Structure 1
Amino acid sequence: MKDISIYFDPINYTEPAYNTDLGSHIKTEKEHAFQLKKNSIALIFVGEYRGSDQNADTLSIASVVDKLTGLQWGDWKKEVYLLGQIKPGASVGDTYVALKEVVFELVKKDIFPFIIGGSQDLTYPIYQAYEKLEQTVNLLSIDSHFDLGDPNEAIKANGWLNKIILHQPNYLFNYANIGYQSYYVNAEEIDLFNQLYFDANRLGDYYTDSTLVEPLARNSDIISFDMNSIRSSDYSGNTEKSPHGFYGEDACRIMRYAGISDKLTSAGVFNLNTETGDGELSANLLAQMIWYFIEGFNQRKGDYPVCTKKNYIRYHVNIDDFKDEILFYKSDKSGRWWIEVPYPNTDRSKFHRHLLVPCTYQVYVDATKNEMPSLWWKTYQKLL
């Protein structure tokens, strides 16, 4: 692996009081010397806020690390590394390049980069890392907005998604959003999402059925979590001062689902603000979100796409006026469900990882009642 230590400054934090604390198990740069084991987690702080109205002082890295390292270590076998803080570049673009190189090197070596802090435009260089890997990806954003932005303007925290959609060569297969709030999203944005067969889920959809998160997280390669999607009563650093949004426990639940996903290979939590409101409370919330991600990561089952589907239980469903069978698969390891979408071309290699789409048991039940799964149809249209 290329030497990535040149991109980092070390982080000082309070030594753990007990050997059961997470801090006594996390390995710092002094202990790992950037020699990282495969199938591990690398925690990376990025104090880059020049793409937003915030400044670097809104992120107290030490407070987050202190809260995290004071939590209890679970019955976990996976290594967790604290790589440090990426050095800010002379320009935002320089920071992007550093982050892109770090994510690329880690993902290539089967090490999970978990990015903390900075504004959400940092999702773009994370995506660019997969271009170097020549891998089509699914991106899931936890956000009250779509953050499309104007393609003619510079990238910024509330306008980065267009840069990914229009980026050439394009490696984005699907984009999904959880938690958007309708009064923040205009009709043209909804129309665009429909035309591109993207998945948009309102905050109300989540509270009607919170299980929708699990298959979306299981289908994602990258997750971008905007802390402003959490309501101000639970996250006082919310710069939008929003009375609505996810509760703190829902943010932790989402991060646990993200950790469990075998397909997910990177994640970022952005727009963290520990200087406004109760900074200690905000740091504690983020620390617990990270804890739940580590918990989920240690509970991965090695399901698809890590393994093949040959040992899965296969279910055939026929739907009226549809000539082909719909095939469902149930994992023998975890009991989770997938739906298979046939590739309408001869060359399957580029999209092979996206042909088996995670779904819930309810999707299968609805199909047995002669209801065509919208998930199947939207994926097929993207393949076309």
Structure 2
Amino acid sequence: MELEFFTPVNAELAEIAGNKLRSSLRIHLEDKAFPDLDGVKIAFFGVLEDRLDEEPTGEPFNFDDIRREFYNLYPGNWHLPMADLGDIQKGETVEDTFFAVQSAVNVCLKKGIIPVILGGSEDLVYAQYRAYDGVEQMVNLVNIDSKFDLGDADKPISNRSYVGKIVVTKPYNLFNYSSLGYQTYFNSQDEIELMDRLFFDAYRLGEVTGDITVIEPVMRDANLVSLDLGAISGGALGNYRLKSPNGFDGKEICALSRYAGISDKVSSFGVYEYTARLNFPASRMLIAQILWYFVEGVNFRKNENTISSKKEFIRYQVPIDDEILVFYKSPVSGRWWIEIPFISPVSNKLKRHTLLPCTQGDYLDACNQIIPERWYKTKRKNEI
């Protein structure tokens, strides 16, 4: 780990006693050795960067109060070692900060550690994504946000245009982008149509809150997840002066965080758009609980590697028109997958038969001759 990237955690925070979460963490403290990362499964760190925020507050911020709330929570029945690496300060340039974040995440991925990033502006997702260069063949990004953040890829990157940069910038590692909780009035019709043309997934806020379980398969297929705190309602964050009264409530956002944690594929998680405007007791506690639920999810992973476990799954074949859809069900967890076929004459992006997470409802729809939309989109992306 590149130690020079990290400044240590405030020593006062380490004084929390008792059987709180603090006792379960290996913390980077001043005048102490950098924590031993052998066996660590989850590593937290903050990134104090917000210079590409399109609506900057100009006020300094830090994560000490969030850490205090998180350290003071009681752990669940957990057994996975965790570490707090400290903070990455602003570099001389934003590109320097990006390099530090990309390097830190990349090292964590290679060590089998899940990095959990607390960030300022959400353009940091670009650095989180670039850490997968050379690590994964293709990656899926899930963003919990009220906006798509596609922006104009021809303009400089910002916290509202980083997805566009991800799409158009080499190396092209992105296979799928899923937006959870978007609010139509915050997104132009051009962007909504572009999401459709790119065969990306977009779930409106009402669709997710109406039945939050619909996003479980989406999270199960994600490699990296980002959460924009602007997706949460102002009331849930304890600040009614924030712009949007609509958004996820505390229970819903924690459920989404737990889904991200319990996914066997999610290998990095970021919580972004923290500013001085969110330094309220309810905001800090909610963010701490979001982190808590992600950790709980990781601790309850089923470790159902879809390649090695496939032979244990129950297989179902459903003929639809000229297609035969192949579904699999895990006898252990009861979760479902649908097979995306390998297309040999085509430059197949996934290079092999792939199991796409789905729901039992998708299987039942297929039995009624309705092709699942996510299967169709994934198959079309694979053919392009």
Q: Tell me if TM exceeds 0.5.
A: yes
Q: How does 1:93-108 map to 2 (within 5 A)?
A: 93-108=95-110
Task: State the AA in 2 paired with 1:281.
Answer: A
Partner of 1:45, secondary structure, is strand
Counterpart of 1:205? 207
CA distance 1:47–1:237, change in 2 (3 Å):
farther
CA distance 1:239–1:354, change in 2 (3 Å):
farther
Partner of 2:131, secondary structure, is helix
Counterpart of 1:6? 4
CA distance 1:278–1:87, change in 2 (3 Å):
closer
Pairwise CA distance, 1:313: 1.0
Counterpart of 1:291? 292
Contact 1:16 1:69 (8 Å CA) reproduced: no
Residues 284-326 of structure 1 show CA distances to partners (whole Å, capped at 9, x for unaligned) of 110000000000000000013474311111111122xx22311
Pairwise CA distance, 1:352: 4.9
Partner of 1:315, secondary structure, is strand
Pairwise CA distance, 1:184: 0.9
Task: State the AA in 1 paired with 2:37.
Answer: L
Whole-Å Cα distance in 2 between the matches of residues 109 and 133 of structure 1?
11
Q: How does 1:300-315 map to 2 (within 5 A)?
A: 300-305=301-306, 307-315=308-316
Q: How does 1:313-328 map to 2 (within 5 A)?
A: 313-319=314-320, 322-328=321-327
Count of matched residue pairs: 379
Counterpart of 2:20? 21
* Alignment equivalent of 1:180, drawn from 179, 182, 186: 182
Partner of 2:247, secondary structure, is coil
Contact 1:58 1:276 (8 Å CA) reproduced: no
Whole-Å Cα distance in 2 between the matches of residues 105 and 7 of structure 1?
12
CA distance 1:103–1:17, change in 2 (3 Å):
closer
Whole-Å Cα distance in 1 between the matches of residues 177 and 202 of structure 2?
9
Pairwise CA distance, 1:336: 0.7
Whole-Å Cα distance in 1 between the matches of residues 41 and 139 of structure 2?
21
Pairwise CA distance, 1:354: 7.8
Detail structure 1 runs of 4+ shifted over 4 Å in the superposition: 55-58, 237-240, 346-350
Pairwise CA distance, 1:5: 1.1
Contact 1:49 1:55 (8 Å CA) reproduced: no
Q: How does 1:220-259 map to 2 (within 5 A)?
A: 220-236=222-238, 240-259=242-261
Gaps of 5+ in 2: none
Whole-Å Cα distance in 2 between the matches of residues 288 and 89 of structure 1?
29
TM-score (norm 2): 0.93
Residues 129-161 of structure 1 show CA distances to partners (whole Å, capped at 9, x for unaligned) of 111325310000000011111122111111111
Gaps of 5+ in 1: none
Partner of 1:59, secondary structure, is coil
Pairwise CA distance, 1:353: 7.6
**Identity between Structure 1 and Structure 2 (%):** 38
CA distance 1:165–1:33, change in 2 (3 Å):
same
The reply to whether residue 92 of structure 1 matches residue 94 of structure 2 is yes
Moved more, 261-270 or 353-362: 353-362
Once superposed, what is the RMSD of the aligned Cα atoms?
2.1
Counterpart of 2:51? 50
Whole-Å Cα distance in 2 between the matches of residues 42 and 7 of structure 1?
14
Contact 2:26 2:36 (8 Å CA) reproduced: no
Whole-Å Cα distance in 1 between the matches of residues 104 and 211 of structure 2?
36
Task: State the AA in 1 paired with 2:28.
Answer: E
Whole-Å Cα distance in 1 between the matches of residues 66 and 353 of structure 2?
36
Partner of 1:301, secondary structure, is coil
CA distance 1:86–1:278, change in 2 (3 Å):
closer
CA distance 1:354–1:65, change in 2 (3 Å):
farther
Q: How does 1:103-182 map to 2 (within 5 A)?
A: 103-182=105-184
Partner of 1:147, secondary structure, is coil
Whole-Å Cα distance in 2 between the matches of residues 91 and 207 of structure 1?
39
TM-score (norm 1): 0.93
CA distance 1:270–1:303, change in 2 (3 Å):
same
Moved more, 371-380 or 254-263: 371-380
Task: State the AA in 1 paired with 2:292.
Answer: W
